[in-house]
Amino acid sequence: MSSEIRFTDFKSDKQPTWCPGCGDFGTMNGMMKALAETGNSPDDTFVVAGIGCSGKIGTFMHSYAIHGVHGRALPVGTGVKLANPDLEVMVAGGDGDGYSIGAGHFIHAVRRNVDMTYCVMDNRIYGLTKGQASPTSREDFETSTTPEGPKQPPVNPLALALSAGGTFIAQSFSTDAQRHAELVQKAIEHDGFGFVNVFSPCVTFNDVDTYDYFRDAIVDLDETDHDPTDRDAAKEKILDADKEYQGILYQDENSVPYSELHGIEGNMAEIPDGAPEGAMDLVREFY
Amino acid sequence: MPEDLNWAIGGEAGDGIDSTGKIFAQALSRAGRHVFTSKDFASRIRGGYTAYKIRSSVDRVESVVDRLDILVALTERTIEENMDELHDGSVIIYDGERTEMADVEVPEGMIGLDVPLKSLAEDAGGAIMQNTVALGAACEATNFPIENLDSALDKKFGSKGESIVENNKEAARLGQEYVQEEYDYDFDYDIDTTDNDYVLLNGDEAIGMGAIAAGCRFYSGYPITPATDVMEYLMGRIQQYGGTVVQAEDELSAINMALGAARAGARSMTATSGPGIDLMTETFGLVAQSETPLVICDVMRSGPSTGMPTKQEQGDLNMTLYGGHGEIPRFVVAPTTISECFHKTIEAFNLAEKYQTPVFLVSDLAMAVTEQTFEPEEFDMDEVEIDRGKVVDEDEIEAWTDEKGRFQPHFPTADGISPRAFPGTKDGAHMSTGLEHNALGRRTEDTDIRVEQVDKRNQKVKTAEEEEDWSPRTFGDEDADDLVITWGSNEGALREANQFLSDEGISVKFISVPYIFPRPDLTEEIEAADNAIVVECNETGQFANVLEHDSLTRLDRINKYTGVRFKADELADEIKQQLSQEVQA
């Protein structure tokens, strides 16, 4: 059905400027593959990103896109999706973008449950500013701004999402290409806010959370008896600080997206040439 | 018999002051009288002095004055607060049975009407209607046909059931009859009515109505005084026209959502007040740099910081003119009347889309919380014109693509305005960014392209300066030697001040400017005047400063920063005083 669109159609002719070996290549490829698999075309896809390495994604992909200000990608995506529900909205962020400066927006985007997909390229470090601690950095991770480690626990994005009423919470590993693309695809297909935290290693500044580390540490939920519709089971897994899970942690099968609850249907770009029909009623109300 | 009636009700917040005042304003409006209202309120939910004032006349009224003819005082403090405005013959309606009113002494020369509001309300069906009893008493004191009050009560309580409406009408009758029977005064007031039908609305409502008329479909905002009424107006109405209102988690989110909706092709708006504008500033540059059409409304209040949230000031002009890092092409439009809040909102959307820029729509608390009567034709929906600018569809896309078939959303044209493709348009896929970019929207640090794109964006403003009409409004005596210039909500008070001045044989030319950037060049008028005075509600004279910059001429100023709007009689006195000082000097 989606045979006409291939994932390479979403590639721009601009070569990515990420460091060789960066996890973001795999993250982006999986997003493009998932978009193609779900039958979307570049002309009806809108990619939103903030600032940082993740923010560059709109340049390297071919679609309608905006590269916004730091941490505010989710509100922009919300506006795009509500104004034109026909668009497939894909929001990309980094761990600093999403869980530090944009943490407030993250929680509220989760609760709002707008039907879009949010992929966070989580490398547990600030890469583009050359190696400072991020909100997901380990407590003892030494960086230029935390010479003895941040000495504060990392943010648990999955727990934030679950507590805020998240309806689709998944985690993937950018280099496990097939599985990552499959999880993003499920996030796209989910009716509501599809959140995927993607382990996307930084090969330049993070020598702790490396490809090797994740390869060893990851437990795939498909190889366990985890039931993603069981919120209590999800809570238990998400709060287990000793494991790195891959897969759908939680999915609410009864999720109703924001636009449906608020009766938003049409493309708001389409308006009449003058005032809308019956607009004088707005005046008469003031008699 | 004076035609001009100045009426007020005052008490504690939570006493129903606002809704009672509004009922009386509607009653007057339904009687074909013009109404202009103002509010004194504190930043709290309950408690604290609150008043709702009405000025009414058969002629159009556009300001408040320092005079109060009828005062409904629910607390003793209400009388103290308004002592300056009360005069010989003023009527004070109060309930001496209220413990807090037991010691009231009506000042000599004034008429006190001690009406047992509460017990009469109980006779009519419930103490809650005591304010309605007071309205009935006020009808008697002004010889105002009470049937008009009935009609306003129908509107107010109609949805709550017939018995509530009837009980309120009865409460009003009891108030009226009590005054008739107990007081044998020949009241000064004999209010005329007309057959005209007016609409009564405030500035925030006019902005909301203008937005819907202009095709705005997406609004996101965060509650803040005094801009919240815009959101509350749109909520529940914009949906009927296919739009939506999102209450965002903060102002940062609000403006970014609005930006997203605008990029998706919707006419989109956010509104806030000073502190919210500060937060939104981060995104101003992105809006301009990505060439996104967006209307950002600032309903100003007293600053800085949290300042006085429920008080008037015109202190954000510099912020809207200069806010944001770097150099941002923008338009700043500032309605000067409530009806202009409607018209300029429509214009703001057209400017935003035509030139693909942020447009600041600057209003203020004095307009936001003030209601005024208008002929409904003043908001003629048939006259609304929509200009969406250079939107290209899939047939036109090819003309704007490069040799590789890529759409160029920032193509440098002679007028500075590039083509715009709504997402979903075939072969129009492109990226927008706050980074400096080339015609494709891709990041660049190429010096030539940087200069080309900066020039392109600024060319849009130059094009607009030539293509649009930025004329101010002039009134008063066109040939007068003295000139008074203003912006924002002061126009109404100046129009009436002009009346006071010309009654005394003083002729002044007035210019009211609704465009701050670009703005009309007033150099000729300023040079031709013996004295040029700029009137604004701030301390530093922000508008006077930009006009001085334009005309290279020192301007006199009348500045008020008490938190209270200008009053017509006060302005007339100030202008007179400044002009006479000039003569002496």
Q: Is the pLDDT of residue B133 over 60?
A: yes
| Mean pLDDT along residues A249-263 | 97
Query: CA-CA distance, B546 to B300, in Å (whole number)?
Result: 19
Query: Cβ contact (<8 Å) for B212 and A282?
Result: yes
Closest chain A residue to B371, measured at CA: A286
For residue B442, the chain A residues in CB contact (below 8 A) are 14, 59
To the nearest whole Å, the CA of B419 is away from the closest chain A CA by: 15
- A269 CB neighbours in chain B (<8 A) are 264-266, 422, 424
Residue B425 forms contact with A (CB below 8 Å): yes
Task: Give the three-state DSSP class for A1.
Answer: coil
Whole-number pLDDT of residue B386: 98
Candidate from B243, B256, B442 with C-beta closest to A79: B256
Q: Which range among A31-45, B201-215, B571-585 shows the weakest confidence by mean pLDDT?
A: B571-585
User: What is the C-alpha separation between B503 and B506, in angstroms, rounded?
Assistant: 7
Residue B127's contacts (CB-CB under 8 Å, 6 or more residues apart) are B118, B121
Please calculate the CA angle B300-B302-B305 and round it to the nearest 5 degrees: 100
| pLDDT for res B582 | 67
Instruction: State yes or no: pLDDT of B333 exceeds 80.
Output: yes
DSSP assignment letter at B69: E
Statement: residue B36 has pLDDT above 80: yes
pLDDT at A4: 83
pLDDT digits (tens, 9 = 90+) for B316-326: 999 999 999 99
B257/A76 Cβ within 8 A = yes
**d(C-alpha B325, C-alpha B512), whole Å:** 30
Please check the confidence at residue A1 and state whether its pLDDT lies above 60: no
Please state the three-class secondary structure of A193-213 as a single string. Answer: CEEEEEECCCCCCCCCCCHHH
Determine contact, residues A121/A53, Cβ cutoff 8 Å. Answer: yes
B440: pLDDT strictly greater than 70: yes
The structure's pTM equals: 0.96
All residues at 6 or more sequence positions from B377 whose CB lies less than 8 Å from its CB, including other chains: none
Q: Look at A68 and B249 and tell me if their CB atoms are within 8 Å.
A: no
**So what's the pLDDT on residue B105?**
87
What is the pLDDT at residue B66?
86
Residue in chain A closest to B269 (alpha carbons) equals A79
Chain A residue at shortest CA distance from B372: A286
pLDDT at B111 over 90: yes
pLDDT at B291 over 50: yes
Residue of A nearest to B238 (CA): A282
Q: Reply yes or no on whether the pLDDT at A3 is more than 80.
A: no
Question: Each residue of B517-549: pLDDT tens digit?
Answer: 999 999 999 999 999 999 999 999 999 999 999
Cα B481 off chain centre by: 31
Q: Give the range among A71-80, B96-105, B192-201 with minimum mean pLDDT.
A: B96-105
Query: For B324, left (φ over 0), alpha (ψ -120 to 50), or beta?
Result: left
Contact A43 B429 (CB under 8 A): yes
* Predicted pLDDT of residue B583: 62
| Structure confidence at residue A16 (pLDDT) | 95
pLDDT band per the 50, 70, 90 thresholds, residue B11: very high
Region B281-310 average pLDDT: 97
Option in A43, A268, A282 nearest B425 (CB) = A43
Residue identified by tokens 């001429």 is B553
- Summarised one tens digit per residue, pLDDT across range B446-504 is 999 999 999 999 999 999 999 999 999 999 999 999 999 999 999 999 999 999 999 99
Residue B43 pairs in a beta bridge with: none
Closest Cα partner for A184 from A34, A13, A46, A22?
A34
Torsion of CA A33, A37, A40, A41, to 10 degrees: 60
At B45 the pLDDT is 67
User: Which of A68, A78, A268 lies at the smallest CB-CB distance from B242?
Assistant: A268
The answer to whether the CB atoms of B431 and A280 lie below 8 A apart is no
Burial B357-391 (b: 16+ CB within 10 A, else e): bbbbbbbbbbbbbbbbbbeeebbebeebebebbbe
Per-residue b/e over A186-200, b at no fewer than 16 CB within 10 Å? bbbebbbbbbbbbbb
B337-356 average pLDDT score: 98
> Where is pLDDT greater, at A236 or B236?
A236
Instruction: Report which of B268, B457, B258 is spatially closest to residue A68, judged by C-alpha positions.
Output: B258
| Angle (nearest 5°) at CA B341 between B335 and B345 | 95
Best probe of the A interface among B217, B238, B343, by most A CBs < 10 A, is: B217
Residue B42 has pLDDT above 90, yes or no: no
- Max alpha carbon distance in chain B (Å)? 91
Question: How many C-beta atoms lie closer than 10 Å to residue B21's C-beta?
Answer: 26
Contacts of B431 in chain A (CB under 8 A): 12, 58-59, 64-67
Nearest CA-CA distance, residue A259 and chain B, Å: 9
pLDDT at B71 over 50: yes
Cβ atoms of A25 and A18 closer than 8 Å: yes
| B211 touching A (Cβ < 8 Å) | no
Residue labelled with tokens 């569809």: B393
The pLDDT score that the predictor gives to residue B102 is: 81
Tokens of A260: 């449906």
Determine the 3-state secondary structure of B499 from DSSP: helix
Nearest CB neighbour to B220, from listed A48, A79, A283: A79
B429/chain A closest Cα distance in angstroms: 4
Work out the number of other CB atoms within 10 angstroms of the CB of residue A223.
9
* CA pair distance B542, B554, nearest whole angstrom: 13
What's the pLDDT at B560? 98
**B248, B386, B431: residue with CB nearest A75:** B248
Mean predicted lDDT score pLDDT of chain A: 96
Contact B260 A83 (CB under 8 A): yes
**Band of residue B48 on the pLDDT scale cut at 50, 70, 90:** confident
Whether residue B585 is predicted with pLDDT greater than 60 in this model: the reply is no
Is any Cβ of chain A less than 8 angstroms from the Cβ of B330? no
> What residues of chain B, 274 to 293, have a C-beta less than 8 Å from chain A?
282-283, 286, 290
